[in-house]
Amino acid sequence: MKQAIFSSKAPQPMGAYSPAVKVGDWIFISGQGPEDPVTHEVKGTTIEEQTKYTVENVLAILAEAGGKPEDVVQVHVFLQDLNDFARFNQVYAQYFPDPKPARATVGCNLINNIMIEIDAIAFTG
């Protein structure tokens, strides 16, 4: 049975999706950006700041579902500018212990002029 996961510490969806869905020991976290959970304003003006806020939103939802950073097995990262990769990676690496999750990083246009979006899959079993 699947269960929708919502966290008061992360932004609520503005569209037709759940912030995360938990199915058994699996947690599927929808794409998160550097959005303030209360005001929905974009937080941060640098890729480092936006990475921090984005990962913290992902981890808030993960925690609400009963997961921890070490449970994350796969991450997809979407960067507005691939030239920001090294700076993004320095901040991102601080949040996930070894072994790091599998990851794909792509460049793309993002809504609301954000620099980064991240989704994740975690296994808690």
Amino acid of residue 43? K
Q: Which domain holds residue 88?
A: 2-123
The full DSSP string for 91-105 is HHHTTSPSSPPEEEE
pTM of this structure: 0.96
**CATH number where 24 lies:** 3.30.1330.40
> pLDDT, tens digit, for every residue of 39-66?
999 999 999 999 999 999 999 999 999 9
Q: How does DSSP assign 23-61, residue by residue?
A: ETTEEEEEEE-SB-TTT--B--SSHHHHHHHHHHHHHHH
Please give the tally of structural domains in the chain.
Answer: 1
Query: If you compute the radius of gyration of the chain from its CA atoms, what whole number of angstroms results?
Result: 14
